Amino acid sequence: MQDVQNGPAKVAMPIDRVGVKELRTPILVRNRDHKENVQHTVASVDLSVDLPAEFKGTHMSRFVEALEAWDEELDYKSFKRLLGNVRERLQAKRAHLTFRFPYFLERTAPSTGSKGLMDYQCELTGVLEGDQLSFVLGVEVPVMTVCPCSLAICHGGAHSQRAIVTIRTRSTGLVWIEDLIAVAEKAGSSPVHSVLKREDERDVVDSAFANPAFVEDVVRSAAHSLQKMEQVSWFRVDVESQESIHNHSAYASIEMENTH
């Protein structure tokens, strides 16, 4: 049967990335605190490779076959093996891979001890070229922020809002998703909870108003905590405050190589 993809291209131009996006697959993710050590979740997966100028197309089914053949706990080594398999199947120089998935943690309300699950959107992105894997772990964490300015100038109140703290890291050792979530939640005025009774709501609000924070404060606090993590070699923190009284969002970002 004719292999059209391996035929000549009408326009002989190399392509940086060609592949498939948003494949869905169940995965196992290492869990720092749970007694079973792994968490079952579902990921959206993007796979791509480079394509030389002389080829018309790539073999899209091989991306799916590589993912179907992969049945491992998601970590650095298994991630690299999957990229290597993709690159070998597609006879490429570089392979690109992204996993996006929700990660769940049980949270306890501060006063009543009521428990509920919080989900955090995570992302693993990597590029394999030769034997070198560039690997980035990211997580999005919602927090509450109280405006220091309105707290200072208003009588008996201040505006508050939800902010999204996005942390991305490269590392030389193991970094737990839980550790990055803790960094983000500590940087805000208060964590966000899934279950709150009246007593809990009172305590959360009182605690948040005792710890007001601009978006600049949040991004600096998170970056300062990441600086102290020896296994983190590079990080980027983005904070977007979804303002409650303004018709816009407030935003701040810090990107840094981490030298110890």
Strand partners, 48: 19, 96
Strand partners, 23: 45
CA-wise closest residue to 79 among 34, 36, 133: 133
What's the confidence (pLDDT) of residue 139? 98
Q: Round to the nearest angstrom and report the end-to-end CA distance of the chain.
A: 58
What's the confidence (pLDDT) of residue 245? 87
Contact present, 188 and 213 (Cβ < 8 Å): yes
* C-alpha torsion 51→56→62→63, nearest 10: 50
Q: How many CA atoms lie within 13 A of 192 on its CB side?
A: 18
Contact present, 82 and 119 (Cβ < 8 Å): no
Q: What is the DSSP letter of 230?
A: T
Strand partners, 32: none
Residue bearing tokens 């919602």? 142
**Tens of pLDDT along 214-224?**
999 999 999 99
Contact present, 127 and 50 (Cβ < 8 Å): no
126: its two tokens:
């990597």
**Tens of pLDDT along 179-199?**
999 999 999 999 999 999 999
- Domains, in order of start, for the chain: 15-257 (3.10.270.10)
Residues in contact with 108: Cβ distance below 8 Å, sequence separation at least 6, in sequence order: 114, 115
φ/ψ region of 101 (left if φ > 0, alpha if ψ in -120 to 50, else beta) reads beta
What's the confidence (pLDDT) of residue 155? 85
Contact present, 147 and 158 (Cβ < 8 Å): yes
What's the confidence (pLDDT) of residue 4? 43
Phi, psi of 227 (to 5 degrees): -60, -30
At residue 187, what is the residue type? Answer: A
- Judged by DSSP in three states, 170 sits in strand
pLDDT tens-place values along the chain, 260 residues long: 545 455 555 666 888 899 999 999 999 998 887 666 889 999 999 999 998 777 665 788 999 999 999 988 999 899 999 999 999 999 899 999 999 999 999 999 999 999 999 999 999 999 999 989 999 999 999 999 999 999 889 987 889 999 999 999 999 888 999 999 999 999 999 999 999 999 999 999 999 999 999 999 999 999 999 999 999 999 999 999 998 888 899 999 999 998 86
Residues in contact with 241: Cβ distance below 8 Å, sequence separation at least 6, in sequence order: 145, 161, 162, 163, 215, 218, 249, 250, 251
* DSSP strand pairing (15-30 vs 73-74): parallel
What's the confidence (pLDDT) of residue 2? 44
